[in-house]
Structure 1
Amino acid sequence: MLYRKVPKNGDELSILGFGCMRLPMKEDGSIDEERATKQVRYAIDHGVNYIDTAWPYHMEQSEPFLGRALTDGYREKVKLATKLPSWLIESREDMDKFLNAQLEKLKTDHIDYYLIHALVGELWDNVRKLGVADFLDKAKADGRIINAGFSFHGSGEDFNRIVDAYDWDFCQIQYNFLDEKNQAGTRGLEYAASKGLGVIIMEPLRGGNLTNPVPPAVKEIWDGAPAKRTAAEWALRWVWNHPEVTVVLSGMNEETHIEENLKVADEAYPNSLTETELQLIKKVEQKYRELMKVGCTGCRYCMPCPSGVDIPLCFEMYNNVYMSGNADETKFFYAARLGGILGGDPGFASQCVQCGECLEKCPQHLDIPTVLESVIEELEGSDLEERVVMVKQLFKKQT
């Protein structure tokens, strides 16, 4: 495992961090705790020392899970990160209330890396007005938090002013080869590093969109590279190639993914990609931009939908029509997965009543109701009910 230093405190953090937003799950939607615990501990045993969670992850169950998973001496082996849910803060007292509850959930007396979560300009203005600087100063002074930072999903202009507004130790931004100019982007990465902040990267694979599935046209480009690497390895190496990056978070929920990521994290030095390799990645980026219709990362911040729409899955299916090139197969899986046939309740795009609640929650600032109309047009149509019946019959025969 390679490690990089946080400039302000000298902590040596593993370049691969374990993100606990997409843990393995059981059929009933709960965390598969036995499997997830083994995964987290295996990663720690193999050098990962930065573990990231947050209040809302897994419907508020990620933090309690980690409190249990990090027993037996594992808490002492890692730097633990969690986040203050900025959108729920209505008073200065709320900040202490949430932090104290998180300490209890995580079974710890301190948070090593504490972030103000999912900031955009308006949320920052609100928590700043309510006294977040005083909260962070006092929480650091009394030892409940060690390092103060923020995660960010707003515009580049807001990013710089938030960086300048407090003596932060670190920040967390979305960054991958499709997001060089999105949100904080490359400019934000370089600006934060110039101010001495450690920079934690989220969504290096754009919620899996850069790896699952890999469109045939993109695979053809990867296959033409002299170095034979998976799409995930190319994407991770691209991020780690930037010396300003401290840690890259990966939502590893498959054992094979953990093994692959650990292997790459042994080798991914900054500035190690050749110019030829960088140009290859640029070609892949351009191809993705031709193919993708909606920039959803699958973070599920928009969920639950009051009308039951499974927004991220609708968008995943919508992108798959264009990335797979197989519309008929995608329509089949849309009926199966969104129709409740494989478990759960129906979550079709056509259930949307355009209440607009999701618009305030989306970190990518997508016009979700409008995109859902395109999903309806592309994937539902007059034969949706017929497809649902056919899929039900098919699965009935197989069981």
Structure 2
Amino acid sequence: MKYRKLFDEDTSILGFGCMRLPTIKEGDTTKINQPEAIKQIRHGIDQGINYIDTAWPYHNQESEVVVGKALQDGYREKVKLVTKAPVWEYKVPEDFEKYLKLQLEKLQTDHLDIYLLHALSKMRFSRVQELKLFEQAEKAKKAGLIKHFGFSFHGNYETFIEIIDAYDWDVTQIQFNYMDVNSQATEKGLKYAGKKGIPVIVMEPLLGGKLVRQTDEGLKFLNEAKTQQSLAAWALQFVWNYSEVKVVLSGMNTMEMIDENCASADRAGINSLSDEDLATIAGLKASFEKLIYIPCTRCEYCMPCPSGVNIPMNLRVLNEAVWTGSAASMQSWFDGFAQTEEALAEKPNNGAAQLCIECGQCLDKCPQSINIPEGLKKAASVFVDGVDPKSIV
């Protein structure tokens, strides 16, 4: 494992993201396979990972509980523990301390190494300012409840600059990968934070797993590349190439993923990619741009839906249909959603796309700025009305 300095401490360049822990049933993120998740987190730490990232809403508010269990038996002392403040839950300034203490209890620790305001956007940052959360964070620091304070971000470049200039942040976390160099915080935002001396943690380096999907065109670039490595390795190496990046988070949920990513971290370096390597990445980017119809990363910030629609999974089956050019392989999966309001009683929060009433509550919550109601309409047209998925692109 390689390390970079974060607050003058050696920190593994690979961080363990706990938003996509192994589950008991595929497609149901609420039921974590706890024994396996604990085993995997500890295996990652044993491999040299010392940065563990979770958050209040992950896995229906159960991720922090499982992480807390995994860090028993001496593992807490080996890592930097990070979780995030659920700003959307706050009604009064004192809710900052209230939720922080609940999270510390779930994580079975007396302090956090880093506490991030979660998924700031322009609208959510206004709430931060209204509630004077900077003052609350300073109080928590003085009380020893948190060591470092920062924010994770989903928005555009202009908003990122506004937020990062508004406070003396210790750290920031952004979505960044070779598909997002000109979206979200952007490469310019990454470098701006670096110039200000603010360390950057990167999430979604694989764009929610999309950058490891094999296609004929992608395989052609892999086979012709001078450097032979996996799709995941190419994506990770791209992000590690930036000196401003201190840690890259990966949502690993198999032992094979952990071992592969740890091995990839051993090969990483700043400004280490050759012109040939960058050309390979450019080719992979061009091939993926043709295939990703809706840029949903299944972060689940849009959930629960007031109408019970399982938004991320409906968008996933639509993307799969567009990707393959056929709805056939995903039709049975779509049919497994609750197709009527009555069926939702047995399958809560697992409704099909046609149950969307276009209330729009999901729009402000989506960090990718996806027009979710329109996407759900497309899913219903493909899987209910039989429209050819190739015709909607």
- What's the TM-score, normalizing by structure 2? 0.92
Counterpart residue number, 2:391: none
Q: How many pairs does the alignment contain? A: 379
Counterpart residue number, 1:199: 200
Q: Does 1:300 align with 2:318?
A: no
Distance 1:276 1:380 in 2: 46
Distance 2:40 2:65 in 1: 16
Tell me the CA shift for residue 332 of structure 1: 4.5
Tell me the CA shift for residue 263 of structure 1: 0.5
8 A contact 1:173–1:202 mirrored in 2: yes
Tell me the CA shift for residue 207 of structure 1: 0.7
Distance 2:386 2:141 in 1: 59
Distance 1:170 1:77 in 2: 20
Tell me, what secondary structure is at the counterpart of 1:210?
helix
Tell me the CA shift for residue 218 of structure 1: 2.1
Q: Does 1:129 align with 2:130?
A: yes
Runs of 4+ in 1 over 6 A off after TM superposition: 337-340
Distance 1:231 1:344 in 2: 35
Distance 1:322 1:227 in 2: 30
CA deviation profile, 1:224-249 (whole Å, cap 9, x unmatched): 21222111111111111111110000
Distance 2:235 2:241 in 1: 10
8 A contact 1:118–1:363 mirrored in 2: yes
Q: Unaligned 5+ residue runs, structure 2?
A: 389-393
Tell me the CA shift for residue 219 of structure 1: 2.4
CA deviation profile, 1:322-342 (whole Å, cap 9, x unmatched): 3234443233443357779xx
Distance 2:130 2:197 in 1: 25
Counterpart residue number, 1:378: 382
Counterpart residue number, 1:15: 13
Tell me the CA shift for residue 193 of structure 1: 0.9
Tell me, what secondary structure is at the counterpart of 2:320?
helix
Distance 1:267 1:67 in 2: 31
CA deviation profile, 1:58-98 (whole Å, cap 9, x unmatched): 11111111111101000000000001111112211111111
Counterpart residue number, 1:251: 251
Counterpart residue number, 2:56: 55
Counterpart residue number, 2:44: 43
Distance 2:282 2:326 in 1: 25
The 5 A counterparts of 1:57-136 are 57-136=58-137
Tell me the CA shift for residue 383 of structure 1: 9.7
Counterpart residue number, 1:388: none
Q: Which amino acid is 1:303 matched to?
A: M
- What's the TM-score, normalizing by structure 1? 0.91
Tell me the CA shift for residue 344 of structure 1: 5.1
Counterpart residue number, 1:369: 373
The 5 A counterparts of 1:1-399 are 1-6=1-6, 9-27=7-25, 29-211=30-212, 213-336=213-336, 347-381=351-385
76-85 or 88-97: bigger deviation: 88-97
Tell me the CA shift for residue 292 of structure 1: 1.7
Q: Which amino acid is 1:34 matched to?
A: P
Tell me the CA shift for residue 317 of structure 1: 1.7
Tell me the CA shift for residue 382 of structure 1: 5.3
CA RMSD of aligned residues (A): 1.9
372-381 or 67-76: bigger deviation: 372-381
Q: In the superposition, relative to structure 1, how do residues 217 and 324 fare at CA in structure 2: closer, same or farther (>3 Å)?
A: farther
Q: Unaligned 5+ residue runs, structure 1?
A: 385-399
8 A contact 2:54–2:84 mirrored in 1: yes
8 A contact 1:96–1:135 mirrored in 2: yes
Distance 2:59 2:330 in 1: 27
